[in-house]
Structure 1
Amino acid sequence: MAQQFNPRDITWLGFNARVLQEAKDATVPLPLRIRFLGIFSNNLDEFFRVRVAGLKRAMDFKTKVIQESFYEAPSKILQKINKIVIDQQSDFEKTWREVQKEMAKQNVFIKDSKSLSAAQKDFVVKYFDEEIESNMIPILLHENVPMPYMRDKSLYIGVAMRRKEWQYESKFAIIEVPTTTNSRFVILPTENKSEKNVMLLEDVIIYNLPHIFSYFGYDDFEANCFKVTKDAEFDLDNDIKTTLADKIEKGIKSRRKGKPTRFVFDKEMDKALLEFLIRKLNLSKKDSIIPGQKIHNFRHFMDFPDVFKAYEKPVERTSFTHQAFDNKERVTDVIIKKDILLTFPYHTYTPVIDLLRESAMDPDVKSIQLTAYRLASNSKIINALVNAARNGKDVTVMLELRARFDEEANLQWKERLELEGVKVLVGIPNKKIHAKLCVIKKRVNNKTIQYGFVSTGNFNEKTAKIYGDSMLMTANRSIMADINKVFSVLNKPKADPTAILKSCKTLLVCPQFMRDKIIWHIDREIEEAKAGRKAEIIIKVNSLSDKILITKIYQAAEVGVDMKMIVRGIYCAVNQKGFKKKIYAISIVDEYLEHARIMYFYNKGKNDFYLSSADWMSRNLDYRIEAATPILQNDLKKQLKHMLEIQLADNVKARVLDKNIRNEYVKGDEKKLIRSQIEIYHYLKNL
């Protein structure tokens, strides 16, 4: 029987539909509903920039390998995507209308250029004159002049201008809304102090169009917003004389030439202007041309101003210090004595920063090595490492310059770190460095002591407040030995890493070897199930699309292994006929982004656990340096098992992952509602 798989891109759209469900949920606080709308929009933008662009490129290749890598013909997937996206856009707009009704109940209103009071009109004119006009450049469009460069993430106003006495001739112009220099949201003055009026930046500009184009003599304006999403991928040239940093910098500039993958516009836009834009952007029927409502680039609404009635933030949404660090003992001293499991954002990220700060000041510390993928904009991690370098420590940072959409920021970090005397590694050819590792070495009484941490998520104190991740802080000698092996590979980018990575005895590492070890663990559970003994596997990942591992999961289900999956996003597996025990698969979408990767294998009651940086995707397992650490202490194993069981019992925010991606909520005992993120908080708090 042929095995079935769901196309990864279709299942990803299913995940984004779950995000939209949170915006629709009336029990979610209003500011968070708006934020979820912004997240949905931002997710969709990146999806078109990366995945849809990739599908369009794949259509140019007719080989069977290309077709199989997408699980279905790219052209068919694109047709499905367009239909789903249009339906989701309609659902989004309906949700936004409902949210605005709720906003009105709190006396919060979004004003456009036609609904201003006299005082507000004066304010908008003055605000435009003082704050906006110098930051924007109107561009007139001409049939015989090439279209000006359109920025990928920008919002544009398309303007059709006429004279009232002569309506048969139109002039077109575009204006880029300057959201990089001005806030998207302008708070207007109101006579009623209990009422809050917010005006979008584009509407402030639209109100001032007669002033902007006054020298042309036009007095009739139609203005509507649109945006263009472009292919964000870039190829790195193979010039061996060029450094990776130079190649990345060149690649960032090449994004300017990316082909449009989506054109979204206000469906009320002037028809002649719309036709002009489509023609000048060289868009065709096969491109995603999507009519929408008035507001675009909704990602800015993730930072909607705080104008609502204060709602009492649940105590469960407040991070607390791990019990091991409640006393005055140094973080260093605690983790040298025993392993500590941090679970973010329930636990505060402070001990991680404190550990690096202690190491920067400790005269016995000789070196610090750390991998960095996505950093906070004002990174305390980097500040601590810079201080360590200034204090004479040997500091090495593996900085992944190819972290998508963080390339420019990481180039800037590279420059700063090198100026401060930090050794910056930039990876090995054709392999992204995605492992989350840190090793610190100190010398005491002629003895070297090593300690550090391994994480499922980035070393980023900002995202640690909203991403659900796990980190093992440890001084385990075998774990530290393997981390050193990974760094020895990173220090020799031109050498073959295979032999060194294969020699890792404790960490599971990619490429190749992590998958092999996962298969070994699954095979062992399969043998137990065949023998009629208990066999259980729980996998928590962000994405599951690797065909080899999915096939192995199918084999486990066929013989009755108790397979449970918690997958936030992409989920390509499908329950097949003939499974002795069906796979139980759920996705949890709540206020925190579920980001941890955790693997559990029963192993005759020994309970093998791993924290991993890798999703179960071919790109992670074959084309990245990744690392998974075992959990060796029984008390920490019990913690992880209990937290996984809480998530598997969720009947508030968990959705069933089925073949048709219907996103139906898990049904359970209505008298005993289990919202896993709340329950995990209480569990950890009471340890």
Structure 2
Amino acid sequence: MKNLIPRDISWLSFNARVLQEAADPSVPLRERIRFLGIHSNNMDEFFRVRVATLKRMIELGGKKGNMHLEENPQSIVEQIQTIVLDQQNEFNRIWQGILKEMQQQGIYLVDEKKLNKQQQAFVKTFFEEEVRSNIIPLMIESLPQLPYLREKSIYLGVVMRRQDTAYQQKYALIEVPSRIIGRFIELPAPEGQHHIILLEDIIRFNLPYIFSYFNYTKFESYIFKVTKDAELDIDNDVTTSIVQKIQKGIKNRRIGKPTRFVFDKEMDSGLLEYMMKKLHLTRMDNIIPGGRIHNFRHFMDFPDVFKQKRLRRQSFTHPELVNTSRVTDIILKHDVLLHFPYHSFNSVIDLLREAAMDPEVNSIKLTAYRLASNSKVINALINAVRNGKSVTVMLELRARFDEENNLEWKELLEEEGVKVLLGMPNMKVHAKLCVITKRSNKKTIQYGFVSTGNLNEKTAKVYADACVLTSNRNVMADINRIFKYLENPSKIKYLNSCKTLMVCPTSMRQQLTQLINTEIKNAKAKKKASITLKVNSLSDPQLILKLYEAADAGVKLNLVIRGICCAKLKHKKWHHDVKAISIVDEYLEHARMLIFENGGREKIFISSADWMIRNLDHRIEAAIPVKNKALCLEIKDILDIELKDNVKARILDNNLDNNYVKTTGRKVRSQIEIYNYLYKKIKPAKPAVTTPIPEVQEIVV
């Protein structure tokens, strides 16, 4: 559609905003390097998933299959190639500037050609003791076909020649064992300095030793990596279980088609042509020339050798939960709204631990999408089973790139006696729900939560999410209906009967459309009408067109959209300019919050669903109405702070320029302002405590 921005082009614009953070001189140097790592990791996943999907669309040639087709995917792939090359050039420019700043702090990234004698001896010893046994050089010219290349690995392509002739040469491949050894090795250095070498450069230095028995005298080596199609194909074979299908899909990823070949632009032309031929790539594919260093995602782990430390304000317990021995007692009285990572995620874990130990609790049911590696949530649930509770977990096995982890969690939970639900073949369960049931004084009592984010205590330190802890009977009734559907997927009537929660894929789209229509009607009647929308992604064509209609009618639109925004939000005929921003900062903006003015009787929701076709039509999602006046005011205040951000907010416009909101008057950096806003609610307020930033390396996509 001409009046929409292609989803994938908009996503690249988001990743450009991540790159802006790496270029921002106000961001501490190590964090700028980390943002380069995040940008690189994002781009890897983009090619594994989205570019792979576009190429499948091209192969389908207009046949719909089971996917939503983009218009002219070939044109989008060509645009992607151009944009990615431009971003790669900007990436390299930023990295060169960072290297100079590192040197000013006495931090040097040393390659194999710049080693002094002491460092050369160190590198030889390190290679012999740590590296040699972990590499197996492959003489690829003698092999009938190229060996399996790992997706997330980097490789050295080696060209070996003899000094007496230019014609006798051989090619070899060496996988750099960074996942075993690590990418960065600190070298002996003068006092006050830090010299760091990359693992591949240690291998480069030792190439004459590695290939000594071939009698070659000249060695050239070039880094490259291959990105493959990571779409998890789930076949329709009724004789296999969903678990078997996912296991098969994970194995098939190994042989996925290459979607990108990234290489050192100085690579020997003969080796480059040889690799492209063996990988069945042409110049029309995503062939990305780059610098000497690849797999920059590892730079999220860059050694902490910097003088300037970036301290993060420490999460704090919600003030309503500070002076109580039991979280349960509070939420049985009234709702509590948690904002992570400002509020501590420990309150959610405490709630589950209390339920595990409470003799009156009969059952716990919750949904799980992405879990921490040593999940305290799972630990609480296992303890609940051991204490005689009935525990049900809806474990989404197809959480992308967490499939193997979730298969392991499934096995562990089932061994402990947890009932594990696995969802439906064609629909992911993305809703974040929990219902706890207890019997007290001959009454059945239920409580739990609805959240925008994953039950992951690790990412809760850096993902900005919202979670309503509640014992509202209507909400609990709907959560029970959703679980009845998850236990009996053929009974769609359970989802259709939800009365309080907006639920996907049955009612949310229709209810959102109705809410927008109400604002349009009020605007046309010259009444106040406004919509404030905060989501990660806005790409659903139907809802975007409905927002266009609202803007044309005079509804005031305020949008905070972190990532994809396919809407063109500037139009001369609209009554009001649409306020549309994206905030990329220290925390990953992940919450979804909706406010509809509704003729003065505001309707406010938090939701697990983005405004995308996949969420609204192909996932189980839930949005909870927030009705407590104090909590409604809190959400409005927080969104108002974000809309006033003039430090980390970028303007979303039709041209994808990513211009920063102009700073006028007092600087407002929303994530700091929100922290201060929530912290002031503590009585008596205590000075905020800062801690070093934790190492959390989840993808930003």
TM-score w.r.t. structure 1 length? 0.97
Asked if the contact 1:524–1:603 (Cα under 8 Å) also holds between the matched residues in 2, the reply is yes
Q: What is the letter of the counterpart of residue 520 of structure 1? A: Q
Q: CA deviation at 1:162?
A: 1.5
Q: Deviations over 1:189-213 (max 9, x none)?
A: 22x2211111111111111112211
Asked if the contact 2:504–2:619 (Cα under 8 Å) also holds between the matched residues in 1, the reply is yes
Q: Distance in 2 between matches of 1:332 and 1:400?
A: 27
Q: What is the letter of the counterpart of residue 587 of structure 1? A: S
Q: Look up the match of 1:658.
A: 653
Asked if the contact 2:58–2:74 (Cα under 8 Å) also holds between the matched residues in 1, the reply is yes
Q: Deviations over 1:211-257 (max 9, x none)?
A: 21122222211011000001111311212121111110000001111
Q: Look up the match of 1:645.
A: 640
Structure 1 SS opposite 2:204: helix
Structure 2 SS opposite 1:628: strand
1:477 matched to 2:476? The reply is no
Q: Distance in 2 between matches of 1:144 and 1:232?
A: 26
Q: Look up the match of 1:579.
A: 574
Asked if the contact 2:57–2:69 (Cα under 8 Å) also holds between the matched residues in 1, the reply is no
1:351 matched to 2:343? The reply is no
Asked if the contact 2:463–2:590 (Cα under 8 Å) also holds between the matched residues in 1, the reply is yes
Q: Distance in 2 between matches of 1:198 and 1:86?
A: 28
User: Percent identity, aligned pairs only?
Assistant: 58
Q: CA deviation at 1:328?
A: 3.4
Q: For 2:439, which of 443, 454, 458 is the aligned residue? A: 443
Q: Look up the match of 1:95.
A: 94
Asked if the contact 2:552–2:575 (Cα under 8 Å) also holds between the matched residues in 1, the reply is yes
Q: Look up the match of 2:594.
A: 599
1:135 matched to 2:131? The reply is no
Q: Look up the match of 1:525.
A: 519
Structure 1 SS opposite 2:304: coil
Q: Distance in 1 between matches of 2:539 and 2:311?
A: 37
Structure 2 SS opposite 1:377: coil
Q: Distance in 1 between matches of 2:138 and 2:491?
A: 53
Q: Look up the match of 2:271.
A: 273
Q: Distance in 2 between matches of 1:292 and 1:334?
A: 56
Q: CA deviation at 1:274?
A: 1.1
CA 1:412/1:65 → structure 2, altered by over 3 Å: closer, same or farther?
closer
Asked if the contact 2:332–2:471 (Cα under 8 Å) also holds between the matched residues in 1, the reply is yes
Q: CA deviation at 1:268?
A: 1.2
Q: What is the letter of the counterpart of residue 96 of structure 2? A: R
Q: Look up the match of 1:52.
A: 51
Q: Look up the match of 2:237.
A: 239
Q: CA deviation at 1:285?
A: 2.0
Q: Look up the match of 2:505.
A: 511
Q: CA deviation at 1:512?
A: 3.4
Q: Deviations over 1:403-450 (max 9, x none)?
A: 111111110111111111111100023110000001111111221111
Asked if the contact 1:152–1:230 (Cα under 8 Å) also holds between the matched residues in 2, the reply is yes
Q: Deviations over 1:496-534 (max 9, x none)?
A: 42x211111111000031011111111111111111011
Q: What is the letter of the counterpart of residue 352 of structure 2? A: L
Q: Distance in 2 between matches of 1:102 and 1:456?
A: 39
Structure 1 SS opposite 2:450: strand
Q: CA deviation at 1:614?
A: 0.5
Q: CA deviation at 1:311?
A: 2.5
Matches within 5 A, 1:280-679: 280-311=278-309, 313=311, 317-493=313-489, 495-497=490-492, 499-575=493-569, 576-669=571-664, 671-679=665-673
Q: Distance in 1 between matches of 2:379 and 2:120?
A: 46
Asked if the contact 2:534–2:591 (Cα under 8 Å) also holds between the matched residues in 1, the reply is yes
Q: Distance in 2 between matches of 1:366 and 1:17?
A: 50
Q: CA deviation at 1:61?
A: 2.8
Q: Distance in 2 between matches of 1:241 and 1:71?
A: 33
Query: What's the RMSD between the two structures over aligned residues?
Result: 1.5
Structure 1 SS opposite 2:311: coil
1:171 matched to 2:167? The reply is no
Q: Look up the match of 1:214.
A: 212
Q: What is the letter of the counterpart of residue 247 of structure 1? A: K
Q: Distance in 1 between matches of 2:391 and 2:232?
A: 31
Q: Distance in 2 between matches of 1:61 and 1:244?
A: 25
Q: Deviations over 1:350-405 (max 9, x none)?
A: 11111111111111111111111111111111111111111111111111011111
Q: CA deviation at 1:665?
A: 0.6
Q: Distance in 1 between matches of 2:143 and 2:383?
A: 57
Q: CA deviation at 1:577?
A: 4.4
Q: Look up the match of 2:192.
A: 194
Q: In terms of mean alpha carbon deviation, does 125-134 or 172-181 score higher?
A: 125-134
CA 1:64/1:183 → structure 2, altered by over 3 Å: closer, same or farther?
closer
Q: CA deviation at 1:572?
A: 0.6
Q: CA deviation at 1:324?
A: 1.1
Asked if the contact 2:432–2:454 (Cα under 8 Å) also holds between the matched residues in 1, the reply is yes
Asked if the contact 2:30–2:306 (Cα under 8 Å) also holds between the matched residues in 1, the reply is yes
Q: Distance in 1 between matches of 2:226 and 2:168?
A: 26
Q: CA deviation at 1:71?
A: 5.2
Structure 1 SS opposite 2:420: strand
Q: Distance in 1 between matches of 2:572 and 2:298?
A: 45
Q: In terms of mean alpha carbon deviation, does 305-314 or 284-293 score higher?
A: 305-314
Q: Deviations over 1:120-177 (max 9, x none)?
A: 1111111112222222211111166100011111111110111223332111111111
CA 1:350/1:569 → structure 2, altered by over 3 Å: closer, same or farther?
same
Q: CA deviation at 1:67?
A: 14
What residue ranges of structure 2 are gaps of 5+ in the alignment?
Answer: 682-701
Structure 1 SS opposite 2:533: strand
Q: Deviations over 1:316-366 (max 9, x none)?
A: x32111111211321111111111111111111111111111111111111
Q: What is the letter of the counterpart of residue 279 of structure 2? A: L
Q: What is the letter of the counterpart of residue 92 of structure 1? A: F
Q: Distance in 2 between matches of 1:334 and 1:101?
A: 54
Q: Look up the match of 2:690.
A: none
Structure 2 SS opposite 1:386: helix
Q: Look up the match of 2:686.
A: none
Asked if the contact 2:370–2:454 (Cα under 8 Å) also holds between the matched residues in 1, the reply is yes
Q: Distance in 1 between matches of 2:476 and 2:296?
A: 44
Q: Deviations over 1:661-686 (max 9, x none)?
A: 000011141x3111100110110001
Q: Distance in 2 between matches of 1:527 and 1:50?
A: 40
Q: Distance in 2 between matches of 1:416 and 1:179?
A: 29
Moved over 4 A (4+): 64-71
Asked if the contact 1:162–1:219 (Cα under 8 Å) also holds between the matched residues in 2, the reply is yes
Q: Deviations over 1:17-61 (max 9, x none)?
A: 000000000001111101100000000011111111111111123
Q: What is the letter of the counterpart of residue 398 of structure 1? A: M
Q: In terms of mean alpha carbon deviation, does 386-395 or 20-29 score higher?
A: 386-395
Asked if the contact 2:234–2:425 (Cα under 8 Å) also holds between the matched residues in 1, the reply is no
Q: Look up the match of 2:684.
A: none
Q: Distance in 2 between matches of 1:206 and 1:474?
A: 59
Q: CA deviation at 1:119?
A: 1.5
Q: What is the letter of the counterpart of residue 147 of structure 1? A: L
